Structure 1
Amino acid sequence: MPVHMGHPGVYIEELPSTVRTIAPVTTSVTAFVGHTRRGPLNQPVRITGFAEFERRFGGLTAGAPVGHAVHQFFGNGGGVAVVVRVARAGTGEEACVALESTEGHSACPVLEIRAKEPGGWGSGLRVVVDQDTPAPDATFNLQVLDPRSGAREAFTGLSMDRGHDRFVEGVVNAGSALVRAKALAEDRPDPSGTVSRPFADRLPDLAVDLQVKIGAVEREFTLYRPGADGEAPTDVTGLALLLERKLRALPDAPGKHTYAGVRVIPFGRRLQVVAGSTDPGDVVRFIGEAANDLGLETSVNPPVFPLSGGRDGEAPGPRDLIGSEAEKTGIQALRDVPDVNLLSLPELAGYDSTEDMVTVISAADRLCRDQRIFQLVDAPAAWTSVDAARAGIGAFDPVRSDHAAIYFPQLRLTDPLTGRLGSFPPSGAIAGVIARTDGERGVWKAPAGTDARLAGTHSLAVPLTDRENGLLNPLGLNCLRAFPVAGPLVWGTRTLAGADALDGEWRWVPVRRLALHIEESVYRGLRWVVFEPNGEQLWQQIRLNASAYLNDLFRQGAFKGTTPREAYFVKCDKDTTTPSDIERGIVNVVIGFAPVKPAEFVIVKIQQIAGDLAL
């Protein structure tokens, strides 16, 4: 704020800078859309490694190429991916369990626990309930276990009262990554395991023989031996420790941990006995008159309540992949996601109908143009020869877009699921190569050549010769080649609009991607201009900001030319923004740049000079 000058002297005022920088945006964040084993449906999830994909989406799945594409992406240098799980409409179901309560003397469902995402994975979840809380007569604890992944979630002090600050729905639904809860009544769910009657203040005689059966294994033991077991317990906590020690000392069935891992939990004046197992069949039952006299068996439940009924969704069809823009499903779920630069739809390669494939690519192209995304298209798996590729490329004429590139053939990789070689769509690996190239050289460098090696690739489904490559390249079909020593490489860098017959302006992949990068960076970097006074001072600031950003790209080698004047220009003045534009609130900025185009053909002339015959 201005300094108030109240006396003669020297005043210091700090002035904010009027220079605003345009920061470059990301270039290689890749979106993968398709079928996965698990994960939220039609919700973009950003991941930074394949281990995270395994945790969130279930890892590799037979018949679902998205998992393999993501694996190849990170294996070839990719850093960040956005995954959207899509399933065929009307398929897939969430596993669930309805927990019952006998507090009202007749068993009835009171709490529904449902897997957070559809799929058979949810049928492996287990729920444990106990009432070991500071208020054992009113609240309860809930644990969710996933034995396959080892994940465990615990929620304590839950209430079935909707007015309580620990109401079960609010706590579980906000904090769980595995399940959702829905209260069906006001009674609490019964604890898992076997629950005793309330003990009196004075414990009964404990020197009794007990019979216990867990699952199919029955054992007999003496609860308390005077002298051998030390002082007799005088409260419920001491009784719980004694009973747990005795049960754990009993022999288990071979390979079982039901007795050795048993837990006895005191809560209030009661005991809860839970087998050391996640098998719902391992129910703890105390047998005989002595056990009945002690009140060790009034409520008998399995040690865990299993979720069931989960069903995997079927692989999505064309309509499912295209999705709904209004409902943000399928590829349309990416419309609200910032910083997505590449799009891979590896399932398209397996379509029997090229027409369906083109339909999805066309819808994806509209998304890519709106969001400034570049689409990586996999050639159909049916193209098993050069002749098939030459005959089939004509079907892609309706989608000859400069926002897409198609790659042929498929990659031969060792499938981690089977250990055998299989053919896989290459777009995931191509996206990884692009990310690696962008990081090492820049978005203006063609992601092809001897540096564009396809890591982890054993071979190519269709080996190509120079002559065959020469037949496909002019058609705008980017070839993957294998060379001695170098191995499998990306050997093409044309967009779908880059066929020789089209003579398009955006023939090259790096030129189009550089333009998209500049457009998005300038779009974000000039947002501050909105609502500023539209005059020469504003135009000068725009020119300064944009020129600084482009000059930085020029110094990195993004443009052709030896001087900035030859490489780029920025115009924003009275010639670009007329008085009529000013009246309508418009400021026009014109940016031009001279891209460096890839050297697709290297011509070497060799001349031999014969000796002087006169000599």
Structure 2
Amino acid sequence: MLTLSTGAYGPYAGGTIVERVTLGNTGLAAKQLTSNAAAGTTVIALDNRVGLNVGDVLSLGASPDEEYVTVSSLPNPSPGGAAPNAGNVVLEQGTGRAHASGEQVRQQNTATVNTAAPATSVLLDVPKGGTGVAVTDGTGYALNDLVRLTTSAGDVTYHRISAAPDNLDARLVNLTVPLSRAHAAGAELIERAPLINVQALDAGQWGNRLRVSAEDEPSGLVSRTSVGGVIGPNTIRLASAAGVEAGTVLEVFDPATGAAVGDPLKVTSIDRASNYTITLAGAGITPAQSAPGLLVRSREFRLTVVLLRQPDPALPSRNENVIAAETFRNLSMDPRHSRYVEKVVGDVNGVLRLSDRRPEGESWYVRVEDLETVLANQEAVRLGPETLVDTLPNGRQRPARHALAGGDDSMGTLTDATYVGVDDVEPENRTGLYTMTTIEDVSLVACPGQTSPAVQGALIDHCELMRYRFAVLDAQRPPDDTLTDVQTQRQQFDTKYAALYHPWLLVPDPYPVNLARPADYSVPPSGHMLGIYARTDVERGVHKAPANEVVRGILGLQRTLSKGEQDILNPYPVNINVIRDFRSNNRGIRVYGGRVITSDSDWKYVNVRRLLIFLEHSIDRGLQWVVFEPNAEPLWARVVRTVSDFLTVVWRNGALEGTKVEEAFFVKCDRTTMTQTDIDSGRLICVVGVAPVKPAEYVIIRIGLWTAHADV
């Protein structure tokens, strides 16, 4: 790395030739500037131009402010070039420094290449005014050497090396995420310190679809006001203090150009009781910032979070489509500020909400962490993340979207224990199935695709414990789904609170690689069965068996079963419910079984078991008004009347047998159902009996011969 004493006279692109040269004064007498020359000027005025020619290299000033320029033209010469021929000299490049009137200007002889140092080239683009030049080979270059730079366009400039060359330590760098686009050799890399850590609200691969962009807030909380008075360097008043609070960063700017004047100011406090006196941190406001005509604004930033569409191998062009977005405006990096980024978006390490075990925050998708942990540094001037832009293929620009990475569903780490979970005295500490014990309005439970005895046994235990729930179980997944496999699975359980369904179903691949020929995707039947249960409950009632119902939204079955195979799986006591294909009879694919996996024949039908669950739960809830009422005959009569009225409605809906209510149910609540000891112990016992309707599982038609004869 070569350090130039004067900034680059123009941009030096990668590949610009660099040579070590020697220049010396010619015998021509020194000239003098007759007026000040500002930095960047291309015209200088000399007292004598005799002997100068276009293309000459001139030295201006003396070390360490010496620089070299090239003559472009000598306008308006004196008649015949007579001495002293004073006038202007036009330069090929603007000067890199300012030079005072009277400084000497000397003509240089032709440059001689110094072969002690090999010619080299610029490695990385150097912007105009840049002083650092990375070269491919710095061997032989030293402090105070003069170098000549020749661009591809033929422009030639000269520079003095102002510091000992620094060897570059070039090596491979491994990136944590791949580059999203190609970059040309020589593209500039700038190191940036991380400021905020952004983390997806929940674990999983879905977080990889999140993109976060940061940009300066164009209109801050303090958008445009003026300094109303300077009490001291650290104490001021503004014409309007609206939007100012502890932690606010104020910026003084020139309204004519919009350029900032001086460094930003940090507000430590505002005394509203003392005419809104504002106290500033550090050195406070400078005299230049107090000048008339300047305005004050606050500096905040905004974060935008977008969620992209699920990646689709068949249509990758749609992967960048935004399906949800949220924006948080006027954010601050100061913990004292009401819009501190962790307060608004949500702190990664914040206190967990009892409702969902997530940190408090306004964002639906992310939580953030301020990576600065020292309070003094947190309260210093920090303007927020740098505003970067993405240039789209159509040339338009948008705030750079930073992708979240590292999200993993970790499906391989899921075990039976993950689904079963752990119980705890504190409800918020429960996991797995145990989290549902605190939710009352659950009637059906399933764990689609999980066919292990541990998980399905836990589902059954959960339903038996909660009393008013019923489990829907999946048969073994393919290819371990033969009749023997399914029967072996069934033999592990004997319960009145679960039903088992076989086989698995086929649906279209939701993300096919080939749209023209999407593959079939195997799914467990429990998800569709829960939908059929719900549909039957709504359309017919809980007393109707969820059987002989069409399974919608599927392509077929993983295994086709015939009547002979159903006759093995469905009858008591096996009680496995079969899903069969009746499309050859124009009847679709139907659930053709409605049995419970129990050895108790009284409870073998799903609709009977669920009807009794419904009745028990409804009566339990409907009699809560009885608690702490006087436990005597008037109360018992009211209980009988309440339960009878409810069961009468159920009977009229067709859920109970009998042509009259006496045949459908009975309700007793008197001294025959409870003893004096029960009454003294605060127990009210009501006995209810019902006759639920059973499904017509088999249709038997008896046909006999009948001989017709005539009666005379």
TM-score range, shorter chain: 0.5 to 0.7
Residue 450 of structure 2 aligns to a residue whose secondary structure is: helix
Q: Could you say if the C-alpha distance between residues 416 and 325 of structure 1 is closer, same or farther in structure 2, counting changes exceeding 3 Å?
A: same
CA deviations on 1:115-137 (whole Å, 9 max, x unpaired) are 10112332332223324421463
Q: Verify the 8 A CA contact 2:678 2:684 in the aligned structure 1.
A: yes
1:426 and 2:519 equivalent? no
Tell me how far apart the structure 2 counterparts of residues 400 and 145 of structure 1 sit (CA, whole Å).
49
Q: Could you say if the C-alpha distance between residues 131 and 120 of structure 1 is closer, same or farther in structure 2, counting changes exceeding 3 Å?
A: same
Q: Verify the 8 A CA contact 2:195 2:385 in the aligned structure 1.
A: no
Tell me how far apart the structure 2 counterparts of residues 376 and 412 of structure 1 sit (CA, whole Å).
18
Q: Could you say if the C-alpha distance between residues 150 and 441 of structure 1 is closer, same or farther in structure 2, counting changes exceeding 3 Å?
A: closer
CA deviations on 1:509-547 (whole Å, 9 max, x unpaired) are 000011111122222222222222322233233222222
What corresponds to 2:263 in structure 1? none
1:111 to 196, 214, 221: 196
Tell me how far apart the structure 2 counterparts of residues 358 and 533 of structure 1 sit (CA, whole Å).
48
Q: Verify the 8 A CA contact 1:378 1:406 in the aligned structure 2.
A: yes
Q: How does 1:451-466 map to 2 (within 5 A)?
A: 452-466=549-563
Cα RMSD after superposing both structures? 2.7
Q: Could you say if the C-alpha distance between residues 123 and 409 of structure 1 is closer, same or farther in structure 2, counting changes exceeding 3 Å?
A: closer
Residue 330 of structure 2 aligns to a residue whose secondary structure is: strand
Residue 449 of structure 2 aligns to a residue whose secondary structure is: helix
Q: Could you say if the C-alpha distance between residues 189 and 598 of structure 1 is closer, same or farther in structure 2, counting changes exceeding 3 Å?
A: farther
Q: CA deviation at 1:374?
A: 1.0
Q: How does 1:272-351 map to 2 (within 5 A)?
A: 276=398, 303-315=400-412, 316-326=414-424, 327-349=429-451
Q: Could you say if the C-alpha distance between residues 488 and 124 of structure 1 is closer, same or farther in structure 2, counting changes exceeding 3 Å?
A: closer
Q: How does 1:40-51 map to 2 (within 5 A)?
A: none
What corresponds to 1:52 in structure 2? none
1:491 and 2:592 equivalent? yes
Tell me how far apart the structure 2 counterparts of residues 527 and 166 of structure 1 sit (CA, whole Å).
48
What corresponds to 2:543 in structure 1? 444
What corresponds to 2:12 in structure 1? none
Number of positions where the alignment pairs a residue of Structure 1 with one of Structure 2? 399
Tell me how far apart the structure 1 counterparts of residues 205 and 479 of structure 2 sit (CA, whole Å).
34
What corresponds to 2:363 in structure 1? 176
Under a length normalisation based on structure 1, what TM-score does the superposition of the two structures give? 0.60
Q: CA deviation at 1:457?
A: 2.7
1:363 and 2:461 equivalent? no
For structure 2, the residue ranges without an aligned partner over 5 or more in a row are 1-176, 178-190, 223-248, 251-298, 310-321, 347-360, 373-377, 513-517
Q: How does 1:583-598 map to 2 (within 5 A)?
A: 583-598=680-695
1:578 and 2:675 equivalent? yes
Q: Verify the 8 A CA contact 2:203 2:408 in the aligned structure 1.
A: yes
Tell me how far apart the structure 2 counterparts of residues 384 and 306 of structure 1 sit (CA, whole Å).
41
Q: Verify the 8 A CA contact 2:504 2:557 in the aligned structure 1.
A: yes
Q: Verify the 8 A CA contact 1:193 1:304 in the aligned structure 2.
A: no
Letter in 1 for 2:406: G
Q: Verify the 8 A CA contact 2:423 2:434 in the aligned structure 1.
A: yes
Q: Verify the 8 A CA contact 1:508 1:597 in the aligned structure 2.
A: yes
Q: How does 1:60-459 map to 2 (within 5 A)?
A: 109-129=194-214, 130-132=216-218, 133-135=220-222, 137=250, 139-148=300-309, 149-173=322-346, 174-185=361-372, 186-187=378-379, 188=382, 190-193=384-387, 256-257=393-394, 259-260=395-396, 262=397, 276=398, 303-315=400-412, 316-326=414-424, 327-349=429-451, 357-371=452-466, 372-382=468-478, 388-390=482-484, 392-418=486-512, 419-449=518-548, 452-459=549-556
Under a length normalisation based on structure 2, what TM-score does the superposition of the two structures give? 0.52
Tell me how far apart the structure 2 counterparts of residues 421 and 456 of structure 1 sit (CA, whole Å).
13
Q: Could you say if the C-alpha distance between residues 467 and 150 of structure 1 is closer, same or farther in structure 2, counting changes exceeding 3 Å?
A: closer
CA deviations on 1:331-359 (whole Å, 9 max, x unpaired) are 2221122222212222224xxxxxxx112
1:506 to 596, 603, 619: 603
Q: CA deviation at 1:114?
A: 1.3
Q: Could you say if the C-alpha distance between residues 192 and 304 of structure 1 is closer, same or farther in structure 2, counting changes exceeding 3 Å?
A: farther
Tell me how far apart the structure 2 counterparts of residues 537 and 110 of structure 1 sit (CA, whole Å).
73
Letter in 2 for 1:113: V
Residue 554 of structure 1 aligns to a residue whose secondary structure is: helix
Q: Which has the larger displacement, 129-138 or 172-181?
A: 129-138
Residue 142 of structure 1 aligns to a residue whose secondary structure is: strand
Letter in 2 for 1:134: L
Q: Could you say if the C-alpha distance between residues 563 and 317 of structure 1 is closer, same or farther in structure 2, counting changes exceeding 3 Å?
A: same
Tell me how far apart the structure 1 counterparts of residues 500 and 686 of structure 2 sit (CA, whole Å).
33
Q: Verify the 8 A CA contact 1:534 1:585 in the aligned structure 2.
A: yes
Tell me how far apart the structure 2 counterparts of residues 610 and 318 of structure 1 sit (CA, whole Å).
67
Tell me how far apart the structure 2 counterparts of residues 391 and 459 of structure 1 sit (CA, whole Å).
21
Q: Could you say if the C-alpha distance between residues 482 and 579 of structure 1 is closer, same or farther in structure 2, counting changes exceeding 3 Å?
A: same
Tell me how far apart the structure 1 counterparts of residues 459 and 338 of structure 2 sit (CA, whole Å).
46
Q: Verify the 8 A CA contact 1:570 1:592 in the aligned structure 2.
A: yes
Q: Could you say if the C-alpha distance between residues 312 and 596 of structure 1 is closer, same or farther in structure 2, counting changes exceeding 3 Å?
A: same
Tell me how far apart the structure 2 counterparts of residues 493 and 422 of structure 1 sit (CA, whole Å).
26
Q: Verify the 8 A CA contact 1:368 1:374 in the aligned structure 2.
A: yes
Letter in 2 for 1:466: K
Quick check: which one's helix share is greater? 1
CA deviations on 1:30-59 (whole Å, 9 max, x unpaired) are xxxxxxxxxxxxxxxxxxxxxxxxxxxxxx
Tell me how far apart the structure 2 counterparts of residues 150 and 331 of structure 1 sit (CA, whole Å).
31
What corresponds to 2:615 in structure 1? 518
Residue 348 of structure 1 aligns to a residue whose secondary structure is: coil
For structure 1, the residue ranges without an aligned partner over 5 or more in a row are 1-94, 96-105, 195-213, 216-251, 263-275, 278-302, 350-356
Q: CA deviation at 1:178?
A: 0.3
Q: Verify the 8 A CA contact 1:384 1:461 in the aligned structure 2.
A: no
Q: CA deviation at 1:594?
A: 0.7
Tell me how far apart the structure 1 counterparts of residues 640 and 507 of structure 2 sit (CA, whole Å).
50
CA deviations on 1:355-412 (whole Å, 9 max, x unpaired) are xx11211111111112221111111024667xx3245413432312111111112223
Residue 492 of structure 2 aligns to a residue whose secondary structure is: helix
Q: CA deviation at 1:463?
A: 2.2
* Higher-RCO chain (CA-CA 8 Å, sequence separation at least 6): 1
Tell me how far apart the structure 2 counterparts of residues 256 and 383 of structure 1 sit (CA, whole Å).
48
Residue 521 of structure 2 aligns to a residue whose secondary structure is: strand
Residue 505 of structure 1 aligns to a residue whose secondary structure is: helix
Q: Could you say if the C-alpha distance between residues 304 and 557 of structure 1 is closer, same or farther in structure 2, counting changes exceeding 3 Å?
A: same
2:648 to 531, 537, 551: 551
Residue 603 of structure 1 aligns to a residue whose secondary structure is: coil
Q: CA deviation at 1:111?
A: 3.4
Residue 150 of structure 1 aligns to a residue whose secondary structure is: strand
Q: Could you say if the C-alpha distance between residues 384 and 321 of structure 1 is closer, same or farther in structure 2, counting changes exceeding 3 Å?
A: closer
Q: Verify the 8 A CA contact 1:569 1:592 in the aligned structure 2.
A: yes
Q: CA deviation at 1:414?
A: 2.4
Residue 648 of structure 2 aligns to a residue whose secondary structure is: helix
Residue 657 of structure 2 aligns to a residue whose secondary structure is: coil
Rg larger in 1 or in 2?
2
Q: Verify the 8 A CA contact 2:301 2:384 in the aligned structure 1.
A: no
Letter in 2 for 1:347: G
Residue 550 of structure 2 aligns to a residue whose secondary structure is: coil
